[in-house]
Amino acid sequence: MDEWLMASGAVVAVSSVGLLSILLIPIIQRDHHSDVIQLLVGLAIGTLTGDALLHLLPHAFSSHLHLKDSHKEDNETSGHSSADDHPSGHHSDLVWFGLMALLAIIAFLAFERVVTIITDLCNKSHKKSKMDGYNRSVGDKISNHNMTSEVTSPSELEKLNLNNESKVNPEDNKLTKESIEGDCLSANPSTAQHDIQMTEQCHRETRVYPHPDPDRGFVIELTDHHHHHQRQTPRSQSVIYTVITGDGLHNFCDGIAIGVAFAGSGVGGGLSTTIAVLCHELPHEVGDFAVLLRAGLSVKRAIIYNILSAFLCFVGMSVGVLVGRINDAWLSAAIAGMFLYIALVDMIPQLDCCPTQSGTTRAFKLTVQLIGISIGVAIMCVISIYEESIKFEF
């Protein structure tokens, strides 16, 4: 029961980071926002890699060795021997745990790519179906249009061009083709809030030919007035869907990591994993909120999506606690691989994405990054060394 309460408190703390990131966005947008982001990203890298290499993998190895020692004592008591008692057997088992972490890295990479591909395909399919529907609805109107021609004088041609804002020169004897387009129905700015943008355009094409008889003036061919409807999902909607989906899946995995840590490693291990998740969630959530707000999502809706993501984190935590009670060694190795992937693939590239402030040297930027990484590693190292003491105090 204690692990449920502690894991739930950890999830609440992690979820509150999403709301805190909204308050940090105006502060980070000031003059020295780049240095703050560099420090936070470095801290996330240090805590994630530190938790993976200093806590999770050693915990997986030690749990396995402890289980082997227990079996060995049972065999000695009963007078039986086992092939697993040989040192080479222990070594091969540890290799399998390392392979588990490696497979988790590959699986997480494939998982993120598949989510991105599915999201893009769904957006393209949605856009195509909407456009096809509108093309069929206006097909009869387009097919019934006629082309007319008439003869007019240069003065009338000039007046026509002026009314249609055309650039056709009535004195030009060369063949000229001019397309005139105008919006019959422009999208209301509020339609962006309904996630769909619809425009209906009017096209009127004017062809100007010099008449064979100079005294007759010009020949003008006008296509009849026709409409072109376009209904599509704005590009920003694709960004919003991708960010929300990715954030929810990341929170679910973070919840599993927290649940497994508290169920298998106690307070010390749970605290270590919670700090690692908190440190990487802060810059991650700040970036996600900035992207969502820039894509046109309101602050209220962004908060709602954050609450939904927090619910997924609770679901993941419940799964982690239940599974972690059975055997947490393999799960710890897998979570270590996940943390390494996030640190090396998602976080390290962000160190180069942040722009350098004017007057700031590369050496200073590197120093800030190394300070953040060092602080994160130091925190994880202290917690890992004194993990048993922390567990004893509670």
Q: How far apart are the first and last CA of the chain?
A: 14
Both tokens of 347, joined, read 């976080």
Lowest mean pLDDT among 43-57, 111-125, 365-379: 111-125
Confidence (pTM): 0.62
Q: How far is CA 112 from CA 106, 118, 168, 249, 391, in A?
A: 10, 10, 53, 9, 35
3-state secondary structure of 148: strand
More confident: 102 or 243: 102
Residues 6+ apart with CB under 8 A from 6: 262, 267, 270
Q: Summarize pLDDT for 2-52 with one digit per residue, the tens.
A: 788 889 999 998 888 777 777 777 666 665 556 777 888 889 899 999 999
Q: In a 3-state reduction of DSSP, which class is residue 278?
A: helix
How remote is the C-alpha of 317 from its chain's centroid? 21
Distance in angstroms (rounded) separating the CA atoms of residues 235 and 220: 40
Residue 150 in tokens: 């008439």
Match 């397309």 to its residue by tokens. Answer: 179
Q: Which of 52-61, 101-110, 275-284, 289-298 has the lowest mean pLDDT?
A: 289-298
Contact 361, 34 (CB under 8 A): no
Distance CA 355, CA 341 (A): 24
- Chain mean position to CA 269: 28
- In the prediction, which pLDDT does 269 show? 83
With tokens 């390290």, the residue in question is: 348
DSSP H helices in the chain: 2-28, 33-50, 57-78, 87-137, 139-143, 154-163, 235-294, 299-324, 329-341, 348-353, 362-385, 387-393
Determine phi and psi for 204, rounding to 5 degrees.
-135, 115
Gyration radius of the chain's alpha carbons = 32
Whole-angstrom distance, CA of residue 310 vs CA of residue 378: 28
Query: Tell me, what's the pLDDT at 90?
Result: 63
Cβ neighbours of residue 70 closer than 8 Å, sequence gap 6 or more: none
Q: Work out the widest C-alpha separation in the chain, in whole angstroms.
A: 121
What's the CA gap between 258 and 15, in Å, rounded?
A: 12
The 10s digit of each residue's pLDDT in 194-250 is 333 443 444 444 555 555 565 555 554 544 444 444 434 344 666 777 778 778 888
Helix, strand, or coil (residue 115)? helix
pLDDT band for 178, please (50, 70, 90 cuts).
Answer: very low
pLDDT digits (tens, 9 = 90+) for 277-293: 888 888 778 777 777 77
Tokens 């820039």 map to which residue?
A: 294
DSSP 210-241: E-SSGGG-EEEEEEPPEEEEEEE--HHHHHHH
**pLDDT tier at 316, thresholds 50, 70, 90:** very high
Q: What is the pLDDT of residues 222-234, one digit of tens each?
A: 444 444 444 343 4
Per-residue pLDDT at 156: 56
Residue showing tokens 């590959």:
106
* pLDDT, averaged across the chain: 70
**Assigned token pair, 62:** 């030690």
Instruction: Read off the DSSP letter of residue 60.
Output: H
Pair 154, 222: CB distance under 8 Å: no
- Reported as a pLDDT band with limits 50, 70 and 90, residue 160 is low
Amino acid 288: pLDDT: 79
Backbone angles phi, psi at 203, to 5 degrees: -120, 130
- Write the DSSP assignment of 150-217 as a string of letters: EEE-HHHHHHHHHHTT----TT--S-EEEEEEEEEEPPPGGGGGGT-EEEEEEEEEEEEEE-SSGGG-
Count CB atoms within 10 A of the CB of residue 137: 10
C-alpha angle 183-197-126 in degrees, rounded to nearest 5:
130
Number of Cα atoms under 13 Å in the Cβ half of residue 177: 1
CA distance 354 to 37: 7
